[in-house]
Amino acid sequence: MSEEQSTCRQCGTCCQNGGPALHHPDTDLLRQGKVGFRHLVTIREGEMAYSPSGVLEAAEHELVKITGRGGGWTCLFFDKDNSSCGIYAHRPLECRLLKCWDPDDLLGVVGQDIISRRDLVNAGDPVNDLIAHQQRECPAEVVASAVAGWRQQPENEKCRAILDDLIRRDLALRNYAIVDLGLPAEVEFFVFGRPLFKQLAGFGVGLREVGGHLEFLWP
């Protein structure tokens, strides 16, 4: 970024740092089908995620964001070959406000008027039961505190054991919802957010299956 920059050069850097969190003014995009549940990922409160200013930190509120491509952070709608946005005319509020040379407008809406899952799922929809089930099996605050405890003391066996149990519960719930209840796999990240093992992969935790059992590889 040069000091003289005052217009977007369409370099795509911002789009590769993660899709935008949605705000209530973005609701029409969903109503009009420009953006669907399959394009979304939920960041649960307390989950480690990159803020609009590029800092990895625990989310203060639940967020619903445009998901990344191929398990990464690059926005699903970003076309790398053409350095363009697939929904440019309908891009969400944060994308319209983002000016990398002057982030004040964007930072002014962070955490304001944000959309959460409960805003998008109708009362009586069984997905609400799945979200409540997740909160019982893997309470967001327990996950956040276990992750924080483990990051402070990576060798702490107790924290690892708690996370080990939470990861298994998280995976079992997703499997139950998709295989037994028929939840479309493409909406998994909206309904449950990213699997806990994927969140921890960013901190170097590995996961492999050995003889039908999950084995964790702690850094």
Residues that bind ligand SF4 (CB under 6 A): 15, 19-20, 66, 75, 77-78, 85, 87, 91-92, 95
Q: Look at residues 146, 217, 216, 133 and name the one whose alpha carbon lies nearest to residue 180.
A: 133
The nearer residue to ligand SF4, 19 or 193, going by C-beta atoms, is: 19
The nearer residue to ligand SF4, 95 or 173, going by C-beta atoms, is: 95
Cβ 92 to ligand SF4 shortest distance, Å: 6
Cβ 75 to ligand SF4 shortest distance, Å: 3
Alpha helices in the chain (DSSP H): 13-16, 27-31, 93-97, 104-107, 117-120, 127-137, 140-152, 157-175, 188-192, 196-201
The CA radius of gyration of the chain, in Å to the nearest whole number, is 18
The nearer residue to ligand SF4, 30 or 147, going by C-beta atoms, is: 30
Round to whole Å and give the CA distance between 130 and 132: 5
Cβ 68 to ligand SF4 shortest distance, Å: 10
User: Cβ distance 187 to 37 under 8 Å?
Assistant: yes
Cβ 16 to ligand SF4 shortest distance, Å: 8
The nearer residue to ligand SF4, 78 or 150, going by C-beta atoms, is: 78
User: Cβ distance 19 to 65 under 8 Å?
Assistant: yes
Q: Look at residues 214, 191, 204, 189 and name the one whose alpha carbon lies nearest to residue 70.
A: 189
Region of 75 (left: φ > 0; alpha: ψ -120 to 50; beta: rest) is beta
Round to whole Å and give the CA distance between 27 and 35: 9
The nearer residue to ligand SF4, 87 or 207, going by C-beta atoms, is: 87
Cβ 167 to ligand SF4 shortest distance, Å: 29
The nearer residue to ligand SF4, 12 or 139, going by C-beta atoms, is: 12
Cβ 114 to ligand SF4 shortest distance, Å: 16
